[in-house]
Structure 1
């Protein structure tokens, strides 16, 4: 967005500063000529104050957080309070609030370090993760436990965002929902992308949207990682499927590649000697299994397929329970791994 358009939007929002604050900083209140709140992310408190009327100190809409020294305008308030990443989304939200039409198409300005992150880029994923927090005590934990996933040790790759921006693919109005945010990393631990699962506000299931799961960033070859792999690891498609197996094998490092195509392309750690392929019981899963097994064999890595009784291991876990799941995979493990990862964890 050109700077003049951003300035114009910020000015228009400033003309309705109190209404903006009441909507996006609802945990605050008016105190004289200012709106006070905990911070720009709408935390309760009084350290941040937003100017509501023009004065010799400046125009309405400007804010300062006395606790952190942060300052900005009402576009920043919309971005941070909703957890938006792409600046275009911030502008769209501002226009929707002001009921302004979309601007005429313009030639993009040259990319500069102060520009917002490109949509879907690793930088945007980094910002999204930074806006999120640990899952303990959140609706993400509720959601996973309702899926039968109770072993959450070593799940630092998962984060919680209370109001993650969701744009319908049909161009409908933008929405915000709680979301599970998963960090996608390369073999060196560098963040390359993120995966979002939008959830119902109470955590009992996914949000009622058309596509409750979406990924962003550089995904090919990378994965959502649980544990540090040594000579043995497991790799699967979905986060929930992988975590379900990890309930039975909590000490085995695992990686969720997020799709069948990405599972087939997952990269191998240099120390890996044996790979367990977590299979989904469908044609796409079979294709990913065959490709990944072939690649592993070419790399001199032993590849062993772990197959569920139902569609995937999360269904097995929910329908049969953890004890039955452990019994199901016992005979599929190499004997030494059965003792190392299964019997010792019992």
Structure 2
């Protein structure tokens, strides 16, 4: 498909104006033939109006918007730019094409303005772009999902956010679907984003979406993790996000990292000043193997390694089945005595 210019892209977006607004201006709502929201950056409010119907071009075109509070105006390419915090037109156009499910342009010269090629699917750059499209976790369907799993203490969870319409693509042939998703960002020890993890959810937050698989990761994951808190001398590391968040209900201030799989847990990188590592084991053969690998590496590095074991399959199973007080009692006897008073605050 030939490369579309800005006006052509804006017209194509205008034909899908309501879908564009629901995706990028999700804090607004439809009012007659308009979408009403606070501003082009998706702030809740009512001062910005987007035309949902109209001609393809000109002042009354579908997709044209005006902010009555500031006098700003523009089209849906501006909505994509400002709602995602993009700068370069190359990135804005790529996002518009992705939304419209257009073919990427044939390989050719890189963008004159950005000098950057499209982000390869599943790459760290693709993960960073996905992260820029997310919304806060608080009050979202993702928070509802976690609450239904017994996870209510969400302090220091800035690395978790929400996407209202995240694309899910099957492994083989099949139609692409959109579902709400909890998005977790994967970072290295310096806080640099290397990947992302998606958990697709039912539209009411009552469970995972009916897709297979309901979870996928992207980017560079090996040795990195989804981090909760800043690790210094003590930290806990395990596999799943919900496993670690469940443990965090009992140990709300201990720094943690979810490696996302047993294989990646085995390759967890240790902070330079770490002296005690809690290895959060999943109760299966892969979990045992990962625990053994991490423990051997920790001991070799002079780090004290202590295993935390669930009663059932993992700590989220324990939390849901037995409740928080039982989980606290279970953890209290497994951690070092000096860490009880340090990390088991109520």
Q: How would you bin the TM-score normalised by the shorter chain?
A: 0.7 to 0.9
**Counterparts of 1:88 and 1:290, CA distance in 2:** 44
Shift of the alpha carbon at 1:74? 6.8
Alignment CA distance shift 1:63-1:233 (3 Å): same
1:108 aligns with 2:107: yes
Which of 271, 275, 289 lines up with 1:273 in the alignment?
275
Q: TM-score, normalised by structure 2?
A: 0.81
- Native 8 Å contact 1:248 1:326 kept in 2: yes
Look up the match of 1:257: 259
Shift of the alpha carbon at 1:127? 2.2
Provide Cα deviations, 1:310-335, integer angstroms capped at 9, x if missing partner: 11111111111111112212222112
Alignment CA distance shift 1:315-1:30 (3 Å): closer
Alignment CA distance shift 1:44-1:163 (3 Å): farther
**Counterparts of 2:176 and 2:82, CA distance in 1:** 13
- Native 8 Å contact 2:312 2:318 kept in 1: yes
| Partner SS, residue 3 of structure 1 | coil
- Native 8 Å contact 1:37 1:47 kept in 2: yes
1:94 aligns with 2:96: no
Shift of the alpha carbon at 1:9? 6.6
**Counterparts of 2:77 and 2:62, CA distance in 1:** 6
Alignment CA distance shift 1:211-1:8 (3 Å): farther
Which of 34, 52, 55 lines up with 2:54 in the alignment?
52
Which of 229, 233, 242 lines up with 1:240 in the alignment?
242
Look up the match of 1:161: 163
Shift of the alpha carbon at 1:215? 1.1
Alignment CA distance shift 1:171-1:87 (3 Å): farther
Shift of the alpha carbon at 1:301? 0.8
Alignment CA distance shift 1:332-1:106 (3 Å): same
**Counterparts of 1:89 and 1:174, CA distance in 2:** 16
Alignment CA distance shift 1:318-1:52 (3 Å): same
- Native 8 Å contact 1:185 1:225 kept in 2: yes
Look up the match of 2:16: 20
Provide Cα deviations, 1:163-209, integer angstroms capped at 9, x if missing partner: 11212223322221111111111111111111111111111001111
Which of 165, 171, 174 lines up with 2:173 in the alignment?
171
- Native 8 Å contact 1:149 1:247 kept in 2: yes
Q: What are the equivalent positions in structure 2 for 1:329-340 lying under 5 Å apart? A: 329-340=331-342
Q: TM-score, normalised by structure 1?
A: 0.81
Q: What are the equivalent positions in structure 2 for 1:133-152 lying under 5 Å apart? A: 133-152=135-154
- Native 8 Å contact 1:222 1:257 kept in 2: yes
Provide Cα deviations, 1:259-305, integer angstroms capped at 9, x if missing partner: 11111111111110010000001111111111111111111111111
**Counterparts of 1:77 and 1:184, CA distance in 2:** 24
**Counterparts of 1:322 and 1:175, CA distance in 2:** 36
- Native 8 Å contact 2:161 2:183 kept in 1: yes
Q: What are the equivalent positions in structure 2 for 1:296-315 lying under 5 Å apart? A: 296-315=298-317
Shift of the alpha carbon at 1:154? 1.4
**Counterparts of 2:173 and 2:96, CA distance in 1:** 15
Which blocks of at least 5 consecutive residues in structure 2 are unaligned?
Answer: 23-28, 85-90
Paired residues in the alignment total 326
**Counterparts of 1:278 and 1:168, CA distance in 2:** 31
- Native 8 Å contact 1:274 1:303 kept in 2: yes
Shift of the alpha carbon at 1:253? 0.7
Cα RMSD (Å): 3.4
**Counterparts of 1:46 and 1:310, CA distance in 2:** 52
- Native 8 Å contact 1:10 1:75 kept in 2: no
Look up the match of 1:98: none
- Native 8 Å contact 1:180 1:199 kept in 2: yes
Alignment CA distance shift 1:297-1:282 (3 Å): same
**Counterparts of 1:312 and 1:269, CA distance in 2:** 25
**Counterparts of 2:270 and 2:71, CA distance in 1:** 43
- Native 8 Å contact 2:238 2:258 kept in 1: yes
